[in-house]
Amino acid sequence: MEIRILGTGCPKCHKLEEETRRAIAEMGLEANLEKVTQVAEIMKYGVMITPALVVDGKVKAAGKVPSVAEIKKLLEA
């Protein structure tokens, strides 16, 4: 599973990364997590508001920090 956190480094971006890492660990998933901070790269996903969570190339959440439980549901889908 390829997971990307899109964001320029704001506190919400860091929080999304922390919550996502927690969800991955709790679920026991094998996943590659990457942070994308370059605005040009973020724009390729059509994301206008960060932070955003991308799973296997699909934007699952943008503009907010979902809870660990919500992230788990997004990773299962």
DSSP 32-66: EEEEE--HHHHHTTT--SS-EEEETTEEEEESS--
**Does 10 qualify as catalytic in the annotation?**
yes
State the catalytic residue, choosing from 3, 5, 6, 13. Answer: 13
Mark whether 18 is an active-site residue: no
Specify the 3-state DSSP secondary structure of 32: strand
Active-site residue among 1, 2, 9, 10? 10
Supply the residues annotated as catalytic: 10, 13
